[in-house]
Chains A and B, each alone.
Chain A
Amino acid sequence: MLHLILFLVFGAVCVAGAVNLLAQRHPINGALSLVAVMGSLAVEYLLLGAEFVAAVQVIVYAGAIMVLFVFVIMLLNAGVEERTKGSRVALLFGVPGMLLGSVLIGWVLLGHGAETVPVGALPGAPKVIAWLLFHDFLLPFEVTSILVLIAIMGAVVLASHPDTEQGKKES
């Protein structure tokens, strides 16, 4: 029962964030709603027992990738179509959502929910995942490391300022 309630609440947050991504005209609002989608998806992963995937989702997706997005949006100053309805919508949905979340957390903490699960007891424990990654999937793992290296070099080459190279050649 608690699983179903958590699934419904965070699934609703997911869908609301995804629809908000479509509705917002400003990219920074879309990026923040995408962060909300990824955070609630991490909770869905936890409900499915994939605790390590949930942690990586928060660290890599909501942390690294979305920070990169927000950084680029601010770097390019990409606020072309500005509307200030977003703040009103945030007020309308944010306050009840926060109240709902705090009530839910309080309900769980007061012991009405299911029994707690220790870290590592779920099927997607880090130890099992590491065994799979470094034994059965060792070759794909190494190939992805080369892929990431190529991506880093490509990003540096693509984003480097062209004027500096021209200035070096001319001078």
Chain B
Amino acid sequence: MVPISYYLILSGILFACGVTGFLIKRNIISIFMSIELMLNGVNLSFVAFAAQWHALSGQVFVFFVMVVAAAEAAVGLAIIISVYRTRETLNVDQVDLLKL
């Protein structure tokens, strides 16, 4: 069997990549994908601990994370579309005003 620490290391790497992308990316869609990467890293640690402790509640929580991620993706992409429609740009540095 693979030790659980390996899974946690992989999960940490994915989460760190997500945080880095969130910080260095300037395209709003890339930032959004970095958030999805962070959610996936957390999901991996949930499943790893569920396998470690033989508690299936961890897997059930992964479902809830996925549902929230799907809802977040739908609303977030709708917001991105409406931002692009009003400002004609996807660069977050140029989206700095609440009201046009």
- Expressed in whole angstroms, the Cα–Cα distance for A156 and B71 within the complex equals 12
18 additional A-B pairs beyond A7-B2, A65-B73, beta carbons within 8 Å, are A21-B33, A22-B24, A37-B37, A45-B44, A49-B51, A50-B50, A50-B59, A50-B62, A65-B70, A128-B56, A129-B60, A133-B60, A144-B67, A147-B68, A147-B71, A148-B71, A154-B75, A154-B78
- Expressed in whole angstroms, the Cα–Cα distance for A70 and B63 within the complex equals 23
Stretch from A56-64, A82-90, A93-101, A102-110 contacting the other chain:
A56-64
List chain A residues, Cβ under 8 A from B48.
48
- Expressed in whole angstroms, the Cα–Cα distance for A144 and B59 within the complex equals 16
What's the minimum C-beta distance from A97 to chain B, rounded to whole angstroms? 18
- Expressed in whole angstroms, the Cα–Cα distance for A116 and B63 within the complex equals 26
Interface residues on A, range: 35 or more
List chain A residues, Cβ under 8 A from B1.
3
List chain B residues, Cβ under 8 A from A140.
64
Known: A47-B2, A65-B69, A123-B51. A72 touches B56 (CB 8 A): no
**Are B10 and A76 within 8 A (Cβ)?**
no
**Are B21 and A152 within 8 A (Cβ)?**
no
**Are B37 and A21 within 8 A (Cβ)?**
yes
**Are A45 and B47 within 8 A (Cβ)?**
yes
Checking B2, B25, B81 against A72 with a beta-carbon cut-off of 8 angstroms, the contacting residue is B81
What's the minimum C-beta distance from B14 to chain A, rounded to whole angstroms? 5
Residue of A nearest to B84 (CB): A76
B-contact 0/1 string along A152-163, CB 8 Å cutoff: 101111110110
List chain A residues, Cβ under 8 A from B51.
48-50, 123
**Are A152 and B13 within 8 A (Cβ)?**
no
**Are B30 and A27 within 8 A (Cβ)?**
yes
- Expressed in whole angstroms, the Cα–Cα distance for A133 and B67 within the complex equals 13
A-B contact pairs, 6 of them (CB 8 A): A31-B29, A41-B44, A45-B44, A49-B51, A53-B62, A76-B80
**Are A73 and B78 within 8 A (Cβ)?**
no
List chain A residues, Cβ under 8 A from B47.
44-45, 48, 50, 53
A-contact 0/1 string along B34-60, CB 8 Å cutoff: 101100100110011011001011011
List chain B residues, Cβ under 8 A from A73.
29
Checking A72, A129, A151 against B75 with a beta-carbon cut-off of 8 angstroms, the contacting residue is A151
